[in-house]
Structure 1
């Protein structure tokens, strides 16, 4: 972790829900202790490919500077965005997963997380673009990233990154293709 990434890992911001509903949340960097809660949120989303619980612990340790978590008033995670700087393109943030606990969906938390993370990595790490993958049947993610690009005044390009046939078969269920979304150039919001 670079010095800039270490500084970034300690940042937090407070937000009021954009839906006008009571309550607020804090956007913070994830800690190892958040790994189990983040794993549960991913599992309960029923749309994300679930990684091992161990990987979420590692993510909170090794990629905290490029990830964010939304915390409720008690400090418990209620949503997250995990990301990393692409090794071959140090100006690109790859957004790995975005999820919000079911009880808190529809309040603009995912968008706030994505915007806050982007502001931080653009300012502190010199990121100029975001990449993520979305399966064609994941309409909510498509809408979120399309709206994100529009809010940022950025271009959104799509192309198939991994054809579904590249994934191992899971019984009779074939994996959908993963479509690469390239969003940029980015500036702070």
Structure 2
């Protein structure tokens, strides 16, 4: 009898730590579409914001990552900075699963909103956040946030703010 592998058992979801910094840097670099920050920033991010960030491993490789933080001016808001999924793992729902797992963490107990900025050409991120709002049975409000003229280099697109919520406590328990 042929046994098929359960897709949920292939992935390991966990909090980040400083040892993830270099691998996350390479993952972001490999996407070719996300703004690549310094390797130092990813080391810091994975260490300091580990309670609100997540990495997914498969066969010992980092294949997906979300960096997030509780907004200092809005303690009920989880701001998502970057979402990266290796091209070999796209289309498997990892982005949504990571977001749902983050919302279930103790650090996100008081979170009622998820925010992220998304450029007009980034259709996968648009679909991710609109899909999360639908999954959580809540609203997704879009507003202009950063204009291309706000960025120091030319060619950067505008960034719209996606604000998802309010998120009910019971909706955080939705299946991934």
Shared fold per TM-score greater than 0.5: yes
**Any unmatched runs of 5+ in structure 2?**
1-5
Using the alignment, how far apart are the partners of 1:79 and 1:89 within structure 2?
27
> How far apart in 2 are the matches of 1:43 and 1:33?
17
1:125-165 CA-partner distances (Å, limit 9, x unpaired): 31110000000010111011111110001100001111110
Tell me the secondary structure at the aligned position of residue 77 of structure 2: strand
Using the alignment, how far apart are the partners of 1:34 and 1:129 within structure 2? 27
Aligned match for 1:87, one of 54, 72, 86: 72
Cα distance between partner residues in 1 of 2:129 and 2:49 = 21
Partner in structure 2 of residue 100 of structure 1: 85
| Counterpart for residue 131 of structure 2 | 147
Distance 2:59 2:14 in 1: 12
In 2, the alpha carbon distance for the partners of 1:121 and 1:80 equals 19
Count of matched residue positions in the alignment of Structure 1 and Structure 2: 165
Determine if the alignment matches structure 1 residue 32 to structure 2 residue 18.
yes
RMSD between superposed Cα atoms in Å: 1.5
**Runs of at least 4 residues off by over 4 Å:** none
Structure 1 counterpart of 2:7, from 17, 20, 26:
17
Post-superposition CA distance 1:79-123 (Å, at most 9, x none):
11110000011110000001111222221111111111122257x
Q: Distance in 1 between matches of 2:29 and 2:95?
A: 16
In structure 2, the CA distance between the partners of 1:127 and 1:105, relative to structure 1 (3 Å rule), is same
2:164 aligned with 1:164: no
Match of 1:3 in 2: none
What is the alpha-carbon distance in structure 1 between the residues aligned to residue 68 and residue 145 of structure 2?
17
Consecutive unaligned residues of structure 1, counting only runs of 5 or more, are 1-15
SS in 1 for 2:115: strand
TM-score, normalising length: structure 2: 0.88
Partner residue in 2 for 1:129: 113
TM-score by length of 1: 0.82
Superposed CA offset, 1:158-177 (max 9, x none)? 0111111011124xxx2111
Report the equivalent of 1:177: 158
Partners of 2:85 and 2:112 in 1: how far apart?
Answer: 25
